[in-house]
Amino acid sequence: MKTNRRHFLKVAGVTAMGLAAGAGTAAASYLPHYDHVAPNHDHLTAGRWGMVIDTRKFHHKEDFLPLVEACHKYHNVPTIPGNQEIKWLWTDSFHHSFPNKHNEFLEEKMHHQDFLLLCNHCKNPPCVRVCPTQATYKRADGIVIMDMHRCIGCRFCMAGCPYGSRSFNFQDPRPFIAEQNTDYPTRTKGVVEKCNFCAERLAEGKLPACVEASEGKLIFGDLNNPESEIRHILAENYTIRRKPDLGTEPSVFYII
């Protein structure tokens, strides 16, 4: 009996040491994905970042291209043909973008117009609640962001997002990046990705790349500050949000 007990304790001890060593190795090999968003002394801050898209200033499909190109080029978003497309910023029709805004007397141009889409950085983000590893989380300034190194590729967040704002890397995306931006990390196979409101640029005191390229078509600012430009624009214009009935409280508004 004593021999058996001694043997059990020996095996248990070795096992515990192995687990501890494994955990240590894992912890040592873990590198946070957000080093590139460490703020400098010029960083921009807000209580809750938000965006207004003035759809009245987009007249042709080509008007969206500079914005999408600026975003995807800066964030190393690959161009993968077929049904494995990765997208941070894209366009879609009124009916797909605002499925609960239909009526039989809708203005004719709405049937043919495209709308700019991105992550809505919801006040109540369902993607955060369903992520089992906390790879997706919401910052104090309202930005819903990802730590790619924590992502295990379960795609619960994709199922939880009602806006289709997330893409999954079914293959290594790096061969499909035409010109790599070394200031922003690339992703790997098996990882979900999405818009991050350019948190890394805000940390350097810069506006999001799409806003900078929009020439006034997009307005970005602090929704919690009643004196901010975005609050004045929201007070002076009728705006809609995508699927507001879901209670997610999107931080992206559209002037129609």
pLDDT tens, N- to C-terminus, the chain (256 residues): 444 545 544 544 444 344 334 333 333 333 445 556 677 778 999 999 999 999 999 999 999 999 999 999 999 999 998 889 999 999 999 999 999 887 888 888 888 899 999 999 999 999 999 999 999 999 999 999 999 899 999 999 999 999 999 999 999 999 999 999 999 999 999 999 999 999 999 999 999 999 999 999 999 999 999 999 999 999 999 999 999 999 999 999 999 9
CATH class assigned to 49-255 = alpha beta
Q: Is the separation of the CB atoms in 193 and 166 below 8 Å?
A: yes
Q: In 3D, which of 252, 205, 247 has the Cα closest to residue 53?
A: 252
Q: What is the rounded distance in angstroms from the CA atom of residue 162 to the CA atom of residue 217?
A: 25
Kindly report the backbone phi and psi dihedral angles of residue 71, in degrees, each rounded to the nearest multiple of 5, phi listed first.
-65, -55
Q: Are strands 49-54 and 252-255 parallel, antiparallel or unpaired?
A: parallel
Please report the sign of the dihedral spanned by the C-alpha atoms of residue 101, residue 256, residue 242, residue 70.
Answer: positive
Alpha carbon of 199 to those of 34, 113, 190: distances in Å?
9, 30, 23
How many CB atoms are closer than 10 A to CB 223? 20
Residues 6 or more apart from 168 whose CB is under 8 A from it? Answer: 153, 155, 158, 191, 192
Burial 161-191 (b: 16+ CB within 10 A, else e): bebebbbbbeeebeebbeeeeeebbbbeeeb
Q: What is the pTM of this model?
A: 0.84
Q: What is the rounded distance in angstroms from the CA atom of residue 50 to the CA atom of residue 219?
A: 8
Q: What is the rounded distance in angstroms from the CA atom of residue 3 to the CA atom of residue 97?
A: 70
